[in-house]
Amino acid sequence: MIANFLRYLAYERRYSAHTLTAYEADLGQFEAYLQETYALADTTAVTHLHLRSWVLALVEGGMSTRSVNRKLATLRSYYKFLLKREAVQQDPTVKVRAPKVQKGLPHFVQEAEMDRLLDNIPFPDTFEGWRDRLVLELLYGTGIRLSELLQLRVSNVNLHEGVIKVLGKRNKERVIPMAKPLQELVRKYIGSKSAAFGADSSAHLLVTDKGEQAYPMFVYRLVRKYLGTFTSSEKQSPHVLRHTFATHLLNRGADLNAVKDLLGHSSLAATQVYTHNSMEKLRKVFEQAHPKA
Catalytic residues, by residue number, are 145, 169, 239, 242, 265, 274
With the C-alpha atoms ordered 124, 125, 128, 132, is the resulting torsion angle positive or negative?
positive
CA distance 170 to 269: 18
Strand partners, 165: 175
Q: Which residues, 6+ apart, have CB-to-CB distance to 156 below 8 Å?
A: 164, 165, 166, 205
Neighbouring CB atoms inside 10 A of 217's CB total 8
Give the C-alpha distances (Å, rounded to integers) separating 235 from 121, 231, 250.
20, 10, 21
158: part of which helix (H) or strand (E)?
strand 157-158
CA distance between the termini of the chain:
62
Inter-residue contact 203 to 193 (CB < 8 Å)? no
- Where helices occur in 96-237 by DSSP H, the ranges are 111-120, 127-142, 146-151, 180-197, 216-230
**Residue 245 contacts residue 139 (beta carbons within 8 Å):** yes
CA 170 to CA 267: how far, in whole Å?
A: 14
